Protein backbone atom coordinates (compact mmCIF):
# COMPACT_ATOMS: atom_id res chain seq x y z
CA UNK A 1 0.00 0.00 0.00
CA UNK A 2 1.37 3.41 -0.97
CA UNK A 3 1.67 5.87 1.86
CA UNK A 4 0.18 9.23 0.85
CA UNK A 5 2.58 12.12 0.88
CA UNK A 6 1.99 14.58 3.70
CA UNK A 7 0.24 17.78 2.66
CA UNK A 8 1.08 21.25 3.91
CA UNK A 9 -1.61 22.98 5.93
CA UNK A 10 -3.34 25.80 4.02
CA UNK A 11 -1.60 29.13 4.40
CA UNK A 12 -3.59 31.63 6.42
CA UNK A 13 -4.49 34.77 4.45
CA UNK A 14 -2.31 37.77 5.32
CA UNK A 15 -3.50 40.73 7.38
CA UNK A 16 -3.30 44.22 5.87
CA UNK A 17 -2.89 46.93 8.49
CA UNK A 18 -4.37 50.35 7.67
CA UNK A 19 -3.78 53.50 9.71
CA UNK A 20 -6.41 56.21 9.21
CA UNK A 21 -5.24 59.61 10.44
CA UNK A 22 -8.14 61.65 11.82
CA UNK A 23 -11.42 60.54 13.37
CA UNK A 24 -13.56 63.28 11.87
CA UNK A 25 -16.50 62.62 9.58
CA UNK A 26 -14.51 61.32 6.58
CA UNK A 27 -12.09 59.19 8.60
CA UNK A 28 -14.95 57.58 10.50
CA UNK A 29 -17.01 56.92 7.35
CA UNK A 30 -13.96 55.39 5.68
CA UNK A 31 -13.30 53.12 8.65
CA UNK A 32 -16.91 51.93 8.72
CA UNK A 33 -16.83 51.27 4.97
CA UNK A 34 -13.62 49.24 5.23
CA UNK A 35 -14.89 47.27 8.22
CA UNK A 36 -18.06 46.44 6.28
CA UNK A 37 -16.24 44.99 3.25
CA UNK A 38 -17.37 41.39 2.62
CA UNK A 39 -14.70 38.73 3.09
CA UNK A 40 -13.97 35.25 1.81
CA UNK A 41 -11.82 32.47 3.32
CA UNK A 42 -8.95 33.40 0.99
CA UNK A 43 -9.15 37.20 1.19
CA UNK A 44 -6.73 39.05 3.47
CA UNK A 45 -8.02 40.44 6.71
CA UNK A 46 -8.04 44.19 7.31
CA UNK A 47 -6.77 45.62 10.57
CA UNK A 48 -8.18 49.16 10.88
CA UNK A 49 -6.96 51.74 13.38
CA UNK A 50 -7.83 55.43 13.56
CA UNK A 51 -5.35 57.83 15.14
CA UNK A 52 -6.85 61.12 16.30
CA UNK A 53 -4.86 64.07 17.63
CA UNK A 54 -7.58 65.33 19.99
CA UNK A 55 -8.10 63.68 23.35
CA UNK A 56 -11.79 62.91 22.72
CA UNK A 57 -14.26 62.76 19.82
CA UNK A 58 -15.00 66.24 18.55
CA UNK A 59 -16.15 68.13 15.45
CA UNK A 60 -16.46 71.83 14.81
CA UNK A 61 -19.80 73.27 15.87
CA UNK A 62 -21.17 73.98 12.44
CA UNK A 63 -24.01 72.76 10.29
CA UNK A 64 -23.50 70.36 7.42
CA UNK A 65 -25.66 68.92 4.67
CA UNK A 66 -25.24 66.02 2.27
CA UNK A 67 -26.48 65.59 -1.27
CA UNK A 68 -28.37 62.55 -2.49
CA UNK A 69 -25.11 61.49 -4.17
CA UNK A 70 -23.24 61.48 -0.85
CA UNK A 71 -26.07 59.51 0.75
CA UNK A 72 -25.83 56.95 -2.05
CA UNK A 73 -22.11 56.54 -1.32
CA UNK A 74 -22.90 55.95 2.33
CA UNK A 75 -25.53 53.37 1.49
CA UNK A 76 -23.05 51.47 -0.68
CA UNK A 77 -20.44 51.42 2.08
CA UNK A 78 -22.70 50.75 5.06
CA UNK A 79 -26.43 51.61 5.18
CA UNK A 80 -26.09 52.43 8.86
CA UNK A 81 -24.08 55.55 7.97
CA UNK A 82 -26.97 57.10 6.04
CA UNK A 83 -29.27 56.15 8.92
CA UNK A 84 -27.08 58.26 11.21
CA UNK A 85 -27.90 61.34 9.11
CA UNK A 86 -31.61 60.61 9.25
CA UNK A 87 -31.38 60.32 13.03
CA UNK A 88 -29.99 63.83 13.50
CA UNK A 89 -31.04 65.77 10.37
CA UNK A 90 -33.52 68.64 10.29
CA UNK A 91 -36.12 68.76 7.55
CA UNK A 92 -36.24 71.75 5.25
CA UNK A 93 -39.68 73.34 5.39
CA UNK A 94 -42.77 72.45 7.37
CA UNK A 95 -42.47 69.14 9.25
CA UNK A 96 -45.68 67.91 7.67
CA UNK A 97 -44.53 68.78 4.15
CA UNK A 98 -40.72 68.84 3.79
CA UNK A 99 -39.25 70.75 0.87
CA UNK A 100 -36.19 69.44 -0.95
CA UNK A 101 -35.46 72.57 -2.95
CA UNK A 102 -32.79 75.21 -2.42
CA UNK A 103 -33.87 78.81 -2.93
CA UNK A 104 -31.82 81.67 -4.40
CA UNK A 105 -33.04 85.25 -4.22
CA UNK A 106 -31.93 88.78 -4.90
CA UNK A 107 -31.12 89.94 -1.39
CA UNK A 108 -29.91 93.39 -2.32
CA UNK A 109 -33.08 94.62 -4.02
CA UNK A 110 -35.49 92.76 -1.73
CA UNK A 111 -38.33 94.92 -0.44
CA UNK A 112 -41.66 94.26 1.29
CA UNK A 113 -44.86 94.48 -0.72
CA UNK A 114 -48.55 94.16 -0.02
CA UNK A 115 -50.44 91.08 -1.17
CA UNK A 116 -51.50 91.37 -4.78
CA UNK A 117 -48.84 93.90 -5.69
CA UNK A 118 -46.51 93.66 -8.68
CA UNK A 119 -43.94 91.43 -7.03
CA UNK A 120 -46.18 89.45 -4.70
CA UNK A 121 -46.12 85.66 -5.20
CA UNK A 122 -47.63 82.71 -3.37
CA UNK A 123 -44.17 81.31 -2.72
CA UNK A 124 -42.95 83.79 -0.14
CA UNK A 125 -43.85 85.97 2.81
CA UNK A 126 -41.77 88.95 1.67
CA UNK A 127 -41.27 89.25 -2.07
CA UNK A 128 -38.04 89.84 -3.95
CA UNK A 129 -37.04 91.69 -7.04
CA UNK A 130 -38.59 89.55 -9.76
CA UNK A 131 -38.70 85.96 -8.52
CA UNK A 132 -37.55 83.19 -6.23
CA UNK A 133 -35.28 80.66 -7.96
CA UNK A 134 -35.91 77.13 -6.73
CA UNK A 135 -33.46 74.28 -7.35
CA UNK A 136 -34.67 70.77 -6.54
CA UNK A 137 -31.92 68.83 -4.76
CA UNK A 138 -33.48 65.36 -4.89
CA UNK A 139 -35.19 63.27 -2.18
CA UNK A 140 -33.87 64.33 1.23
CA UNK A 141 -31.47 66.47 -0.79
CA UNK A 142 -31.25 69.35 1.63
CA UNK A 143 -31.33 68.38 5.28
CA UNK A 144 -28.99 70.16 7.63
CA UNK A 145 -27.47 68.60 10.73
CA UNK A 146 -24.86 69.43 13.33
CA UNK A 147 -21.44 67.96 12.49
CA UNK A 148 -20.82 66.79 16.04
CA UNK A 149 -24.24 65.12 16.29
CA UNK A 150 -23.68 63.18 13.06
CA UNK A 151 -20.18 62.14 14.09
CA UNK A 152 -21.45 61.08 17.49
CA UNK A 153 -24.00 58.74 15.92
CA UNK A 154 -21.36 57.16 13.69
CA UNK A 155 -18.87 56.71 16.51
CA UNK A 156 -21.39 54.42 18.20
CA UNK A 157 -20.99 52.02 15.25
CA UNK A 158 -17.21 51.64 15.55
CA UNK A 159 -15.95 48.58 17.41
CA UNK A 160 -14.24 49.30 20.70
CA UNK A 161 -10.54 50.01 20.37
CA UNK A 162 -10.57 51.11 16.73
CA UNK A 163 -9.88 54.77 17.64
CA UNK A 164 -6.85 55.92 19.61
CA UNK A 165 -6.99 59.51 20.84
CA UNK A 166 -4.16 61.91 21.66
CA UNK A 167 -2.11 60.80 18.65
CA UNK A 168 -0.82 63.79 16.68
CA UNK A 169 1.35 62.76 13.74
CA UNK A 170 4.93 63.97 13.92
CA UNK A 171 6.33 62.18 10.85
CA UNK A 172 6.45 59.01 8.83
CA UNK A 173 9.00 56.92 7.00
CA UNK A 174 8.99 53.96 4.66
CA UNK A 175 10.01 50.51 5.82
CA UNK A 176 12.15 48.12 3.83
CA UNK A 177 9.21 46.09 2.58
CA UNK A 178 7.25 49.14 1.46
CA UNK A 179 5.23 49.60 4.62
CA UNK A 180 5.06 52.81 6.64
CA UNK A 181 6.14 53.75 10.13
CA UNK A 182 4.17 56.65 11.66
CA UNK A 183 5.58 58.59 14.60
CA UNK A 184 3.63 60.80 16.98
CA UNK A 185 4.43 63.94 18.96
CA UNK A 186 5.25 63.91 22.62
CA UNK A 187 7.25 60.70 22.57
CA UNK A 188 4.17 58.60 21.85
CA UNK A 189 5.08 55.16 20.54
CA UNK A 190 4.98 54.97 16.76
CA UNK A 191 3.15 52.37 14.68
CA UNK A 192 4.03 50.28 11.65
CA UNK A 193 1.40 49.56 9.01
CA UNK A 194 0.96 48.61 5.38
CA UNK A 195 -1.01 51.71 4.42
CA UNK A 196 -1.69 55.22 5.73
CA UNK A 197 -4.80 57.16 4.71
CA UNK A 198 -4.83 60.77 5.89
CA UNK A 199 -8.25 62.21 6.70
CA UNK A 200 -6.80 64.91 8.92
CA UNK A 201 -8.61 67.83 7.38
CA UNK A 202 -7.81 71.22 5.99
CA UNK A 203 -4.74 71.64 8.22
CA UNK A 204 -3.47 68.17 7.27
CA UNK A 205 -0.10 67.38 8.81
CA UNK A 206 0.26 64.35 6.55
CA UNK A 207 -0.25 66.43 3.39
CA UNK A 208 2.50 68.77 4.57
CA UNK A 209 4.86 65.85 5.22
CA UNK A 210 3.97 64.00 2.02
CA UNK A 211 4.61 66.98 -0.24
CA UNK A 212 5.67 70.25 1.44
CA UNK A 213 4.23 73.24 3.36
CA UNK A 214 3.78 74.93 -0.03
CA UNK A 215 0.63 72.84 -0.44
CA UNK A 216 -0.96 74.02 2.82
CA UNK A 217 -4.41 75.58 2.45
CA UNK A 218 -4.41 79.34 1.81
CA UNK A 219 -6.70 82.10 3.04
CA UNK A 220 -9.43 82.98 0.52
CA UNK A 221 -9.78 86.49 2.01
CA UNK A 222 -13.34 85.85 3.06
CA UNK A 223 -15.03 85.61 6.46
CA UNK A 224 -18.14 83.68 7.37
CA UNK A 225 -20.08 85.10 10.30
CA UNK A 226 -22.15 82.30 11.88
CA UNK A 227 -25.00 82.62 14.34
CA UNK A 228 -27.95 80.61 15.62
CA UNK A 229 -31.36 82.25 16.03
CA UNK A 230 -34.25 80.78 18.07
CA UNK A 231 -36.84 79.70 15.51
CA UNK A 232 -39.76 81.39 17.22
CA UNK A 233 -37.95 84.74 16.91
CA UNK A 234 -37.10 84.02 13.26
CA UNK A 235 -40.70 83.14 12.42
CA UNK A 236 -42.03 86.23 14.17
CA UNK A 237 -39.76 88.53 12.18
CA UNK A 238 -39.44 86.71 8.83
CA UNK A 239 -42.58 84.60 8.51
CA UNK A 240 -42.81 80.79 8.56
CA UNK A 241 -42.03 80.28 4.89
CA UNK A 242 -38.70 82.09 4.99
CA UNK A 243 -37.63 80.97 8.44
CA UNK A 244 -38.32 77.25 7.97
CA UNK A 245 -36.78 76.91 4.50
CA UNK A 246 -33.25 77.29 3.19
CA UNK A 247 -32.62 80.57 1.35
CA UNK A 248 -29.49 81.99 -0.29
CA UNK A 249 -29.58 85.79 -0.59
CA UNK A 250 -27.33 87.06 -3.39
CA UNK A 251 -25.98 90.57 -3.78
CA UNK A 252 -22.91 92.76 -4.38
CA UNK A 253 -19.66 91.42 -2.91
CA UNK A 254 -21.35 89.36 -0.14
CA UNK A 255 -24.09 86.80 0.43
CA UNK A 256 -26.23 85.37 3.23
CA UNK A 257 -27.45 81.81 3.75
CA UNK A 258 -29.95 80.59 6.34
CA UNK A 259 -31.61 77.23 6.99
CA UNK A 260 -33.27 75.36 9.89
CA UNK A 261 -31.27 73.14 12.26
CA UNK A 262 -31.77 71.39 15.63
CA UNK A 263 -35.06 69.79 14.57
CA UNK A 264 -36.29 73.26 13.50
CA UNK A 265 -35.72 74.80 16.89
CA UNK A 266 -33.01 77.08 15.50
CA UNK A 267 -32.29 78.96 12.28
CA UNK A 268 -28.62 78.82 11.23
CA UNK A 269 -27.42 82.05 9.60
CA UNK A 270 -24.12 82.39 7.72
CA UNK A 271 -23.11 85.77 6.28
CA UNK A 272 -20.09 85.82 3.93
CA UNK A 273 -18.11 89.04 3.55
CA UNK A 274 -14.72 89.85 1.96
CA UNK A 275 -11.64 90.46 4.09
CA UNK A 276 -8.57 92.15 2.58
CA UNK A 277 -6.39 91.31 5.59
CA UNK A 278 -4.21 88.25 6.10
CA UNK A 279 -5.05 85.35 8.41
CA UNK A 280 -2.59 82.91 9.93
CA UNK A 281 -4.10 79.42 9.93
CA UNK A 282 -1.87 78.48 12.86
CA UNK A 283 -4.04 80.66 15.11
CA UNK A 284 -7.07 78.56 14.24
CA UNK A 285 -9.94 79.20 11.84
CA UNK A 286 -12.30 81.11 14.12
CA UNK A 287 -12.28 84.30 16.14
CA UNK A 288 -14.84 86.17 18.26
CA UNK A 289 -17.01 88.63 16.34
CA UNK A 290 -19.82 91.07 17.01
CA UNK A 291 -23.06 91.69 15.16
CA UNK A 292 -22.00 95.25 14.40
CA UNK A 293 -19.31 93.91 12.02
CA UNK A 294 -21.99 92.17 9.98
CA UNK A 295 -24.45 95.06 10.14
CA UNK A 296 -21.88 97.34 8.51
CA UNK A 297 -21.32 94.88 5.64
CA UNK A 298 -25.03 94.74 4.75
CA UNK A 299 -26.05 98.30 5.54
CA UNK A 300 -27.07 99.04 1.93
CA UNK A 301 -28.94 95.76 1.34
CA UNK A 302 -32.69 95.28 1.24
CA UNK A 303 -34.80 95.28 4.40
CA UNK A 304 -35.29 91.52 4.49
CA UNK A 305 -31.58 90.72 4.66
CA UNK A 306 -31.09 93.51 7.18
CA UNK A 307 -33.85 91.88 9.20
CA UNK A 308 -32.00 88.55 9.11
CA UNK A 309 -28.80 90.23 10.28
CA UNK A 310 -30.65 91.99 13.10
CA UNK A 311 -31.68 88.57 14.45
CA UNK A 312 -28.07 87.50 14.97
CA UNK A 313 -26.76 87.39 18.53
CA UNK A 314 -24.60 90.32 19.59
CA UNK A 315 -21.62 88.00 20.16
CA UNK A 316 -20.79 85.25 17.66
CA UNK A 317 -17.91 83.65 15.78
CA UNK A 318 -16.36 84.54 12.46
CA UNK A 319 -14.76 81.73 10.45
CA UNK A 320 -11.89 82.29 8.06
CA UNK A 321 -12.42 80.59 4.69
CA UNK A 322 -9.39 78.56 3.59
CA UNK A 323 -8.99 76.29 0.59
CA UNK A 324 -6.40 74.70 -1.71
CA UNK A 325 -7.44 76.67 -4.80
CA UNK A 326 -3.97 78.22 -5.19
CA UNK A 327 -1.99 75.15 -4.13
CA UNK A 328 -3.46 71.85 -5.41
CA UNK A 329 -1.42 68.77 -4.55
CA UNK A 330 -0.10 66.91 -7.62
CA UNK A 331 -1.70 63.60 -6.61
CA UNK A 332 -3.67 62.02 -3.80
CA UNK A 333 -1.21 59.23 -3.11
CA UNK A 334 2.51 58.68 -3.00
CA UNK A 335 4.08 55.43 -1.89
CA UNK A 336 1.78 53.82 0.64
CA UNK A 337 0.31 57.12 1.88
CA UNK A 338 -2.97 58.54 0.56
CA UNK A 339 -4.97 61.72 1.18
CA UNK A 340 -8.76 61.94 1.36
CA UNK A 341 -11.35 64.65 2.00
CA UNK A 342 -10.09 68.12 2.93
CA UNK A 343 -6.56 66.77 3.32
CA UNK A 344 -6.62 66.15 -0.45
CA UNK A 345 -8.82 68.94 -1.79
CA UNK A 346 -10.05 71.44 0.78
CA UNK A 347 -12.66 73.68 -0.84
CA UNK A 348 -14.49 76.79 0.24
CA UNK A 349 -18.03 76.04 1.50
CA UNK A 350 -20.03 77.74 -1.24
CA UNK A 351 -21.29 74.57 -2.94
CA UNK A 352 -21.95 72.92 0.42
CA UNK A 353 -20.30 69.82 -1.03
CA UNK A 354 -16.83 69.59 0.50
CA UNK A 355 -17.80 66.86 2.94
CA UNK A 356 -19.81 65.06 0.27
CA UNK A 357 -16.76 65.00 -1.98
CA UNK A 358 -14.83 63.41 0.87
CA UNK A 359 -17.55 60.76 1.19
CA UNK A 360 -17.02 59.96 -2.50
CA UNK A 361 -13.29 59.60 -1.77
CA UNK A 362 -14.11 57.14 1.00
CA UNK A 363 -16.23 55.01 -1.32
CA UNK A 364 -13.47 55.03 -3.97
CA UNK A 365 -10.92 53.91 -1.35
CA UNK A 366 -13.25 51.16 -0.10
CA UNK A 367 -13.68 49.98 -3.70
CA UNK A 368 -9.91 50.03 -4.20
CA UNK A 369 -9.35 48.02 -1.02
CA UNK A 370 -12.00 45.55 -2.12
CA UNK A 371 -9.96 45.03 -5.29
CA UNK A 372 -6.80 44.61 -3.18
CA UNK A 373 -8.43 41.80 -1.24
CA UNK A 374 -9.56 40.17 -4.46
CA UNK A 375 -6.10 40.43 -6.04
CA UNK A 376 -4.21 39.22 -2.97
CA UNK A 377 -6.67 36.35 -2.65
CA UNK A 378 -5.64 35.17 -6.11
CA UNK A 379 -1.92 35.38 -5.38
CA UNK A 380 -0.85 38.98 -6.05
CA UNK A 381 1.61 40.34 -3.49
CA UNK A 382 0.17 42.71 -0.89
CA UNK A 383 2.63 45.48 -1.75
CA UNK A 384 1.91 45.35 -5.46
CA UNK A 385 -1.85 45.31 -4.90
CA UNK A 386 -1.72 48.31 -2.54
CA UNK A 387 0.49 50.36 -4.86
CA UNK A 388 -1.90 49.78 -7.76
CA UNK A 389 -4.99 50.54 -5.65
CA UNK A 390 -3.69 53.91 -4.46
CA UNK A 391 -2.65 54.95 -7.96
CA UNK A 392 -6.11 54.02 -9.26
CA UNK A 393 -7.82 55.93 -6.45
CA UNK A 394 -5.79 59.08 -7.12
CA UNK A 395 -6.38 58.99 -10.85
CA UNK A 396 -10.13 58.43 -10.63
CA UNK A 397 -10.79 61.02 -7.93
CA UNK A 398 -8.43 63.85 -8.89
CA UNK A 399 -10.21 65.68 -11.70
CA UNK A 400 -13.69 65.82 -10.16
CA UNK A 401 -12.58 66.87 -6.69
CA UNK A 402 -10.21 69.55 -7.98
CA UNK A 403 -13.03 70.87 -10.17
CA UNK A 404 -15.08 71.33 -6.98
CA UNK A 405 -12.34 73.46 -5.40
CA UNK A 406 -12.32 75.73 -8.46
CA UNK A 407 -16.10 75.78 -8.94
CA UNK A 408 -16.75 76.62 -5.30
CA UNK A 409 -14.69 79.78 -5.70
CA UNK A 410 -16.49 80.57 -8.97
CA UNK A 411 -20.01 80.05 -7.67
CA UNK A 412 -19.23 82.39 -4.78
CA UNK A 413 -18.48 85.08 -7.37
CA UNK A 414 -21.84 84.28 -8.96
CA UNK A 415 -23.66 84.68 -5.64
CA UNK A 416 -21.87 87.98 -5.11
CA UNK A 417 -22.51 89.41 -8.60
CA UNK A 418 -18.84 89.37 -9.53
CA UNK A 419 -18.86 86.66 -12.22
CA UNK A 420 -17.91 87.96 -15.68
CA UNK A 421 -20.83 88.18 -18.15
CA UNK A 422 -23.32 87.49 -15.32
CA UNK A 423 -23.04 90.28 -12.77
CA UNK A 424 -26.37 91.12 -11.11
CA UNK A 425 -28.48 89.32 -13.74
CA UNK A 426 -30.21 86.79 -11.49
CA UNK A 427 -31.56 84.75 -14.42
CA UNK A 428 -28.04 84.12 -15.68
CA UNK A 429 -26.74 83.67 -12.14
CA UNK A 430 -29.26 80.97 -11.43
CA UNK A 431 -28.46 79.20 -14.71
CA UNK A 432 -24.79 79.08 -13.68
CA UNK A 433 -25.64 77.88 -10.16
CA UNK A 434 -27.93 75.16 -11.52
CA UNK A 435 -25.39 73.84 -14.02
CA UNK A 436 -22.64 73.63 -11.43
CA UNK A 437 -24.89 72.15 -8.76
CA UNK A 438 -26.18 69.45 -11.09
CA UNK A 439 -22.61 68.39 -11.88
CA UNK A 440 -22.17 67.69 -8.17
CA UNK A 441 -25.56 66.17 -7.47
CA UNK A 442 -26.08 63.97 -10.51
CA UNK A 443 -22.96 61.86 -10.38
CA UNK A 444 -22.92 58.11 -11.06
CA UNK A 445 -21.11 56.76 -8.01
CA UNK A 446 -21.50 53.15 -9.12
CA UNK A 447 -19.71 54.06 -12.37
CA UNK A 448 -16.96 55.64 -10.23
CA UNK A 449 -16.55 52.34 -8.35
CA UNK A 450 -16.34 50.53 -11.68
CA UNK A 451 -13.72 53.04 -12.88
CA UNK A 452 -11.57 52.37 -9.81
CA UNK A 453 -11.73 48.64 -10.41
CA UNK A 454 -11.05 49.07 -14.12
CA UNK A 455 -8.02 51.28 -13.44
CA UNK A 456 -6.69 48.72 -10.97
CA UNK A 457 -6.92 46.01 -13.64
CA UNK A 458 -5.19 48.26 -16.20
CA UNK A 459 -2.32 49.07 -13.85
CA UNK A 460 -1.94 45.44 -12.83
CA UNK A 461 -1.21 44.37 -16.42
Greatest alpha-carbon span in the chain? 106
Q: Which one is catalytic: 71, 205, 226, 409?
A: 226
Burial class (CB in 10 A: 0-12, 13-18, 19+), 310: middle
Nearest of 296, 293, 304, 294 to residue 249 by alpha carbon: 304
Beta strand pairing call for 218-230 and 315-323: antiparallel
Query: Do 103 and 133 form a contact (C-beta atoms < 8 A)?
Result: yes
Helix pair angle (68-77, 354-377), 10° resolution:
30
Query: Do 194 and 18 form a contact (C-beta atoms < 8 A)?
Result: yes
Handedness of CA 161, 163, 166, 172 (dihedral sign): positive
For residue 181, indicate whether it is catalytic.
Answer: no
Query: Do 94 and 110 form a contact (C-beta atoms < 8 A)?
Result: no
386/372 Cα distance (integer angstroms)? 6
Query: Do 112 and 127 form a contact (C-beta atoms < 8 A)?
Result: yes
Known catalytic residues?
226
Amino acid sequence: MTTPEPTSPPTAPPTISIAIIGSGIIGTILALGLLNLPSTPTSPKLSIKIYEQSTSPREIGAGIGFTATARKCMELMDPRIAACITAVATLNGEPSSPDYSMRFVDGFRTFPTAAGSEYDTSDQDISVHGKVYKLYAGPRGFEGCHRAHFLGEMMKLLPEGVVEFGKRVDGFGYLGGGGVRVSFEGGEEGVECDLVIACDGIKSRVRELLFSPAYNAKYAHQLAFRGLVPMDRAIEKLGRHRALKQHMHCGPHAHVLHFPVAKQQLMNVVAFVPDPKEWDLRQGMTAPASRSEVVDAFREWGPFVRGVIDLLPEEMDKWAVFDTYDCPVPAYAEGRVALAGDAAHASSPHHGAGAGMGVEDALALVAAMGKVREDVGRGVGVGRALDVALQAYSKVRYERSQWLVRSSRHVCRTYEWEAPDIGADMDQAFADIRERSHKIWYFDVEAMVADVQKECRRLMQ
